[in-house]
Amino acid sequence: MTATPIHQESPRIVIESVAPEIDCGRFPIKRTLGEDVVVEADIFADGHDVLSAVLLYRHLDETGWRETPLEELVNDRWRGRFTVDRLGRYVYTLRAWVDPFATWRRDLAKKVEAGVEVDVDLRVGAALVADALKCASGRRKTALRALATTLAGGTVKDRRASGDSATQAPRIGAALERRIEAALDPALADLMAEHPDLGRATTYPRELEVVVDPVRARFGAWYEFFPRSCVEDDPRQEHATLNACHSRLEYVADMGFDVVYLPPIHPIGQSHRKGPNNTTGVAADDPGSPWAIGSAVGGHDAVDPRLGTLADVRAFIGRAEELGLQVALDLAYQCSPDHPWVTEHPDWFRRRPDGTVQYAENPPKKYEDIYPIDFDTSDREGLWRELARIVFFWIDQGVRIFRVDNPHTKPFAFWKWLIGTVKAEHPDIIFLAEAFTRPKVMYRLAKLGFTQSYTYFTWRNTKWELTEYFTELTRTQVAEFFRPNLWPNTPDILSAYLQTGERPAFVIRLILAATLGANYGVYGPAFELLEHEPREPGSEEYRNSEKYQVRRWDLRHPDSLRPVITLVNRCRRENRALQSDRGLRFHGVDNDRLICFSKRAPDEENVVIVVVNLDPYQTQSGWVDLDLDALSLDPDAPFQVHDLLSGAHYLWQGPHNFVELDPHTLPAHLFRVKRHVRTEKDFSYYV
């Protein structure tokens, strides 16, 4: 019989089921500056020895590991955490080892409690402490030597100097109680834990990564508008300039938004230019679609002359920053037939058998004014480097956020390379993926580096749909790498819910987007002015879509949702619970037309409860069923809820509380919870 080799170095300790860990460590998790990374793992060994474990972490720029202890939970599950305090990338892993001293100390305590003779055990402990002298110095060495002497009941030599095990003197006059007290003193355990023997420690074989983004990646309210339509103050003007949009920036800032997103601002091609409502017959003054990028004037690194110059772009960004806004620029890798690349790099475009270039299609839609880029070109390196140059060009102009058009139609490998290349130099850059596509594709793009993503929120209307979808986004592993950005509308999408629900539908979707998600956005002024007419029945396209024509918006219209939006954005800024997705919890309601959920700020008392009537037509009422444990509320004590939307105050107690919401007045409650109740007179002003 052939003997199987005996591997004496096989580790005793098992480290497995590490979380968070995405696809066996292939992809990083995401955090924003100042957030914690909480790591858990199953850690165990054969036998009954006590284990110790630490979480190791470092920024990629650091050479040495930092460490923090892991605490044991239940059933061999351990947990530790560290805070990310720099942009860029961190790595983390785990290390565990059998701890002879902790094992000895645990067993000694049991024997003492049982009244067993422990003299020999104390001498064993003295030898363990003496071993620790080898790597001790200064005050620690002095303290350990004294404690070893006490445990042994005599004098202990430095083993490094003598080579002896532990020389022990007679126990003449030694008090057993004093030796036991010294052995079980937490101060001794702390000293011994400072420099453990890691000769047989087990380290998790993978170094897992964390991408750390700016806080704006976690929390922000976006507002999209077409700069060419900022013509409301000048009836003679047919096409606005960027300089004319500074007043629009003030309008957006006054509503409490954080990010202004502009559709492409580049020259628009003449060939096959589209007219109003995507028609092919155009007049001489039709501006065309901003996504048909490129003309004889220039391409992706140029500005449409009707909007202004690069200097005007920089001035626009500067004014936005003065108002507390960041500017997001559309990154659309596609060309009009007139783009300089079409003639300079014809091999970057796919040709049909008749020699013409393949234009964009999404049957039955045709986009003859747009040529997709062929990423299968033989000049892959030249193409990729030029596309990266475009991003760096706009970064140099002051752009820090890019909304990427249809990234799912470009290769995964390209995005991994591009985003990695950009963020290696500029870790503060944010990429939002406009990828309305299949879930696995959306998640893959997030894993490859996209900071945020559009979502299916636009089409999730019922309580079941919203609960299932946002539980997936916030309570599963998806939350570690996918940051949702919720949009009730976009220039491409006018949902059926908004088409038919009138004003209440817009308010409902606003409040849901702004509270379910820490990141949300609206396409305005279409949203606040309740634009709801489709191009034709069954279509999600707007009639008189701003994608193809300049629109004049009456920003002073009395029915505008501007006051409601301003209030909602103020609530978001004043409540940290609404500035993260991780604290989301759903609660029961006995009416399917009502949805209830809460958010709680990490390590804070700030808790909000949101109740929304999903029916834009009729009043709905019901009893909410709160998970009081999730809210840290005492079931026997009353608590206050202050509706931040209406200003009303209510006194609630226990899990079951009644709500009634009329969508035509205000279709939602946005409660801030106040736990401390003093006297009955405190509630004399409550509604």
Task: Choose the weakest-confidence range: 161-175, 181-195, 623-637.
Answer: 161-175
Degrees, nearest 5: CA angle 361-366-372: 40
Torsion, Cα 336 340 343 347, to 10 degrees, reads -80
- Does the pLDDT of residue 163 top 50, yes or no? no
Same domain for 326 and 232 = yes
According to DSSP, the β-strands at 36-45 and 13-19 are: antiparallel
| pLDDT above 50 (res 167) | no
pLDDT digits (tens, 9 = 90+) for 445-485: 999 999 999 999 999 999 999 999 999 999 999 999 999 99
Joined together, the tokens standing for residue 541 give: 């396209």
Are residues 504 and 584 both part of a single domain?
no
For residues 607 and 577, the answer to whether their CB atoms sit within 8 Å is: yes
Please give the full DSSP string across 80-129, using - where no structure is assigned.
EEEE--SSEEEEEEEEEEE-HHHHHHHHHHHHHHHT---HHHHHHHHHHH
Same domain, yes or no, for 406 and 304?
A: yes
Helices and strands counted in the chain (H then E): 16, 29
Q: What is the mean pLDDT of the segment spanning 655-670?
A: 97
Do 599 and 675 belong together in one domain?
yes
Query: pLDDT grade, residue 686 (50/70/90)?
Result: very low
Assigned domain for 338 exists: no
324 in the same domain as 449? yes
Q: Which pLDDT band, with edges at 50, 70 and 90, does 140 fall under?
A: confident
pLDDT tops 80 at residue 687: no
Orientation angle between helical segments 176-184 and 119-132, nearest 10 degrees: 50
Q: Tell whether the model's pLDDT for residue 370 goes beyond 60.
A: yes
The answer to whether residues 604 and 635 touch, using CB atoms and an 8 Å cutoff, is no
Could you give the CA distance from residue 134 to residue 140 in angstroms, rounded to a whole number? 11
Query: Per-residue pLDDT averaged across 33-44, rounded?
Result: 97
Nearest to 556 by CA among 522, 510, 525, 521: 525
> Are residues 58 and 27 in contact, defined by beta-carbon separation less than 8 angstroms?
no
What pLDDT is recorded for position 603?
73
Q: Is 359 a domain residue?
A: no
Instruction: Write the pLDDT tens digit of every residue in 241-276.
Output: 999 999 999 999 999 999 999 999 999 999 999 999
Annotated catalytic residues are 405, 434
Q: Model confidence at 62, in pLDDT bands (50, 70, 90)? A: very high
Q: Give the contacts of 388 (CB within 8 A, at least 6 positions apart).
A: 418, 421, 422
Q: Does an H or E element contain 139, and which?
A: helix 138-152
SS3 label, residue 514? helix
Question: Is the Cβ–Cβ distance between 119 and 180 less than 8 Å?
Answer: no
C-beta contacts of 533-542 below 8 A and 24+ residues apart: 533/499, 534/494, 534/499, 535/277, 540/492, 540/493, 540/494, 540/495, 540/496, 541/277, 541/278, 541/492, 541/494, 542/491, 542/494
**Where residue 574 falls among pLDDT bands split at 50, 70, 90?**
very high
- CA distances 419 to 22, 222, 399, 438, 448, Å, are 18, 21, 15, 21, 8
CA Rg value for the chain: 32
Q: Is the pLDDT of residue 311 over 50?
A: yes
Under the banding of pLDDT at 50, 70 and 90, the label for residue 233 is low
Rounded CA-CA distance 149/178 in Å is 12
| Residue that finishes a domain, picked among 52, 76, 98 | 98
CATH number of the domain enclosing 548: 3.20.20.80
Q: Which domain holds residue 661?
A: 579-683
**pLDDT at 92 exceeding the cut of 60:** yes
Residue 682: predicted pLDDT: 42
pLDDT at residue 308 in the model: 97
CA distances for 335 relative to 270, 300, 379, 410, 546, angstroms: 12, 9, 17, 14, 20
Structural domains in the chain (count): 4
Distance between alpha carbon 369 and the CA centroid of its chain, in Å? 36
- Give residue 234's pLDDT: 66
- Asked if the structure places residue 346 within a domain, the reply is no
Do 416 and 505 sit in the same domain of this protein?
yes
Burial letters 125-148, b for 16+ CB under 10 A, else e: bbbbbbbbbeebeeebbeebbebb
How far apart are the C-alpha atoms of 476 and 481, rounded to whole Å?
Answer: 10
* 39-43, 103-107, 134-138, 275-279: least confident range: 134-138
Q: What is the pLDDT of residue 169?
A: 40
- Whether residues 301 and 327 fall in one domain: yes
Per-residue pLDDT at 111 exceeds 50: yes
Asked if the peptide bond before residue 667 counts as cis, ω within 30 degrees of 0, the response is: no
Shared domain for 634 and 596, answered yes or no, is yes
In a domain, 648, yes or no: yes
Question: Which of 217, 258, 219, 259 is CA-nearest to residue 87?
Answer: 217
Q: What is the pLDDT of residue 4?
A: 58
555 within 8 A of 571, measured Cβ to Cβ:
no
Shared domain for 309 and 447, answered yes or no, is: yes
Q: What is the dihedral of CA 563, 565, 568, 570, to 10 degrees?
A: -70
Q: Report pLDDT digits (tens) over 391-408.
A: 999 999 999 999 999 999
Domain assignment present for 202: no
200 within a domain of the structure (yes/no):
no
DSSP 347-375: GGS-B-TTSPBPPEEETTEEETT-EE--T
Across the range 28-40, mean pLDDT stands at: 97
For the chain, give the mean pLDDT.
91
Examine residue 4 and state whether it is found in any structural domain, yes or no. Answer: no
SS (H, E, C) 574-616: HCHHHHCCCCCEEEEECCCCEEEEEEECCCCCCEEEEEEECCC
Neighbour-count burial of 211, counting CB atoms closer than 10 A to its CB (0-12 exposed, 13-18 middle, 19+ buried) = buried
Smallest CA-to-CA distance from 295 within 279, 274, 275, 273 is with 273
The pair of three-digit structure tokens given for residue 220, joined into one six-digit string: 């922000």
CA 648 – CA 641 distance, rounded (Å)? 9
Neighbours of 668 (CB within 10 A): 25
pLDDT of 154: 67
Question: Residue 555 CA to chain centroid, in angstroms?
Answer: 33
Q: 609 Cβ partners below 8 Å, 6+ apart? A: 587, 596, 597, 598, 626, 631, 641, 669, 671, 673
138 three-class SS? helix
Residue 358 lies in a domain: no
Same domain, 564 and 423: yes
Query: How far does CA 129 lie from the centroid of its chain?
Result: 47
The pLDDT tens digits of the residues spanning 483-525 come to 999 999 999 999 999 999 999 999 999 999 999 999 999 999 9
Which of 578, 594, 623 lies at the terminal end of a domain, its last residue?
A: 578
Q: Let me know the angle formed at the C-alpha of 39 by 103 and 13, rounded to the nearest 5 degrees.
A: 35
> What's the pLDDT at 2?
61
3-state secondary structure 262-275: ECCCCCECCCCCCE
Other Cβ atoms within 10 Å of 529 Cβ, number = 18
Asked if omega into 20 is within 30° of 0 (cis), the reply is: yes
Of 537, 529, 589, residue with least CA distance to 557: 529
Helix (H) or strand (E) holding 622: strand 620-625
CATH number of the domain where residue 611 is located: 2.60.40.1180
CA distances from 203 to 69, 91, 145, 207 (A): 14, 14, 30, 10
Q: Are residues 503 and 456 in the same domain?
A: yes
- Rounded-to-integer distance, Cα 562 and Cα 544, Å: 22
Instruction: Indicate which CATH number applies to the domain containing 83.
Output: 2.60.40.10
What is the per-residue pLDDT for 189? 86
Q: Write down which residue in 578, 607, 642 finishes a domain.
A: 578
Which CATH number fits the domain that encloses residue 120? 1.20.58
β 259-262/326-331 pair status: parallel
What local confidence, expressed as pLDDT, does residue 159 receive? 40
One domain for residues 433 and 452: yes
What CA–CA distance (Å, rounded) separates 131 from 151?
Answer: 13
